[in-house]
């Protein structure tokens, strides 16, 4: 019995040693398989910037009505506060703080549109703590991208990678300034691709990269790197119930950013194609009805009159399966790919109709988002643009589709327009009871407004018309 017991003990000991060796080997393998981001951060940190903004606001806006009321109550006990206060000095208010990255040795920088929109001053802080004032080269609200320029040379810069090559599960790294903590790095994986954010815009031209990287306020506009050190995304927004990272963040694909960047650098604006269809998802029921092998594609619910789609032969109840070589798996894929091509592009489509596949070629029109700022005549500029906004002509496609005649608000700054509740994208059809059918007509009417008092402005927003009152004070 004793001999047997010793043998059993030896076998048990050998088994423990083998198990310990295998466990150590597996642990070593797991550690070897995990990426080390230290070199990636060290190589690219000099190209990352922090962006801060300031803007001018009226003294009353800077203080706030609640604070004014409380102050007046303390100074005049028992009296009802009178908020009809004039002459408060203009205040400088700190705006958004975000991130960005250098894309050329001569100082071009990319960030998010929402970081710098409406800013009067933009300040860029480099990784070595040098600070520069930045010039806005171009803004693009639909993609939430902005191109800036600083007066500097011999800068370190990043390279763009191919976002189409990303796979779900790939490691990615973000560098930015969350909550003002400059040049912080955070890693994670790609959680999903092709995410569309409902409600962002009538013309949703974005298909986001979703990651679980810890993105927070201040990371906006910063780069998302792959393991090769290439920028494959620009961090844009998060999905959160608390305002902080919940592990769901969204980045703009680098291929979209490169297209936008090139257009902003060349012309200061971005042009996107227009197809002219209303569509919806192909669900299981539609696939069954139209005898499609499985749910996929974009189902055409309506074709706009005289649109590129109608002229190209697209019909209601067509199912679009490919656009210019891109597979359309979900209906949200279609506007994303259409938006990557400029007006006038001849695009080939594969559609499913009456149980057969058909090839169709359409020549893309111009998206209503392709607004080009119209210069205000000198007489208006000399009077300080009292309305506080700039307008653009309506595109031919928008005029044709909506039947509207007017101008569109392209840029909104501090002034009567913003205080009245106007928004970028509103279509102005009359000002001071005079019909507006062009930017020239708008400039003439605006230059002859009274110095003070209220004037009516008629706008159309999301298909609904309304009249607002602009309060003029010069």
Residue 95's contacts (CB-CB under 8 Å, 6 or more residues apart) are 52, 53, 54, 55, 118, 119
Binding residues: 114, 144, 218-220
Choosing from 47, 99, 220, 332, the catalytic residue is: 220
Asked if 212 is an active-site residue, the reply is no
Choosing from 47, 52, 99, 114, the catalytic residue is: 114
Cα angle value 48/53/56 (rounded, 5°): 170
- Residue 232: helix, strand or coil by DSSP? strand
> How many H helices and E strands in the chain?
13, 26
DSSP state letter for 426? P
Of 389, 422, 430, 417, residue with least CA distance to 473: 417
- Backbone angles phi and psi of 60, in degrees to 5: -65, -40
DSSP state letter for 304? -
- Residue 73: helix, strand or coil by DSSP? helix
Asked if 327 is an active-site residue, the reply is no
Judge residue 294's burial from the number of C-beta atoms within 10 Å of its C-beta, 0-12 exposed, 13-18 middle, 19 or more buried. Answer: exposed
Q: Where are the alpha helices (DSSP H) in 243-283?
A: 254-267
The beta strand positions in 239-364, using DSSP E, are 249-253, 273-274, 277-281, 298-303, 319-323, 326-327, 346-353, 356-363
Cα 148 to chain center, whole Å?
15
CB 48 within 8 A of CB 98: no
Residue 47's contacts (CB-CB under 8 Å, 6 or more residues apart) are 101, 102, 127, 155, 156, 157, 158
Asked if 220 is an active-site residue, the reply is yes
Cα 17 to chain center, whole Å?
57
Q: Which two tokens stand for residue 58?
A: 């009226």
CB 79 within 8 A of CB 51: no
DSSP symbols for 69-111: HHHHHHHSTTS--------PPPEEEEEEEEEEEE-STT-EEEE
Choosing from 52, 99, 140, 144, the catalytic residue is: 144
Binding residues for substrate: 114, 144, 218-220
Residues paired with 57 in a beta bridge: 91
- By annotation, the residues acting in catalysis are 114, 144, 220
């Amino acid at each position: 019995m004793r001999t047997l017991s010793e043998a059993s003990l030896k076998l048990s000991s050998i088994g423990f040693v083998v198990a310990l060796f295998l466990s150590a080997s597996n642990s070593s393998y797991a550690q070897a398989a995990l990426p080390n981001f230290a070199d990636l951060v060290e190589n690219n940190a000099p190209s990352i910037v922090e962006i801060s903004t300031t803007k001018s606001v009226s003294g009353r806006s800077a203080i706030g009505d609640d604070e004014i009321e409380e102050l007046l109550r303390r100074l005049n006990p028992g009296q009802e506060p009178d908020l009809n206060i004039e002459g408060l000095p203009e205040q400088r208010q700190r705006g958004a703080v975000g991130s960005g990255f250098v894309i050329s040795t001569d100082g071009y920088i990319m960030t998010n549109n929402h970081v710098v929109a409406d800013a009067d001053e933009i300040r860029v802080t480099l990784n070595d703590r040098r600070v520069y004032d930045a010039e806005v080269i171009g803004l693009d609200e639909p993609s939430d991208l902005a191109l800036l320029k600083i007066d500097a040379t011999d800068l370190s810069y990043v390279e763009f990678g191919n976002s189409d090559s990303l796979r779900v599960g790939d490691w990615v790294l973000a560098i930015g300034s969350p909550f003002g903590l400059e040049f912080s790095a955070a890693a994670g994986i790609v959680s999903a691709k092709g995410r569309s954010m409902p409600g962002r815009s009538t013309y949703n031209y974005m298909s986001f990269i979703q990651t679980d990287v810890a993105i927070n306020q201040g990371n906006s506009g910063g780069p998302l790197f792959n393991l090769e050190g290439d920028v494959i995304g620009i961090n844009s927004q998060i999905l959160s119930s608390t305002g902080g990272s919940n592990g769901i963040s969204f980045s703009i694909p680098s291929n979209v950013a490169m297209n936008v960047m090139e257009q902003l650098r060349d012309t200061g604006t971005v042009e996107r194609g227009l197809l002219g269809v209303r569509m919806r998802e192909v669900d299981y029921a539609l696939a069954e009805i139209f005898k499609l092998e499985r749910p996929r594609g974009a189902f055409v619910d309506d074709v706009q009159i005289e649109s590129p789609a109608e002229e190209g032969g697209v019909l209601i109840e067509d199912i679009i399966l490919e656009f210019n070589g891109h597979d359309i798996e979900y209906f949200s894929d279609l506007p994303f790919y259409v938006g990557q091509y400029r007006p006038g592009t001849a695009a080939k489509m594969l559609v499913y109709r009456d149980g057969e596949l058909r090839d169709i070629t359409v020549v893309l029109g111009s998206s209503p988002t392709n607004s080009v700022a119209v210069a205000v005549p000198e007489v208006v500029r000399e009077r300080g643009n009292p309305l506080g906004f700039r307008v653009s002509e309506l595109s031919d496609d928008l005029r044709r589709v909506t039947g509207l005649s007017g101008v569109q608000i392209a840029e909104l700054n501090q002034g009567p327009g913003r205080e009245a509740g106007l928004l970028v994208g509103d279509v102005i059809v009359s000002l001071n009871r005079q019909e507006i059918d062009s930017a020239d007509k708008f400039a003439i009417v605006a230059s002859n407004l009274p110095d003070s008092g209220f004037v009516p402005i008629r706008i159309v927003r999301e298909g609904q018309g309304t009249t607002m009152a602009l309060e003029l004070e010069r």
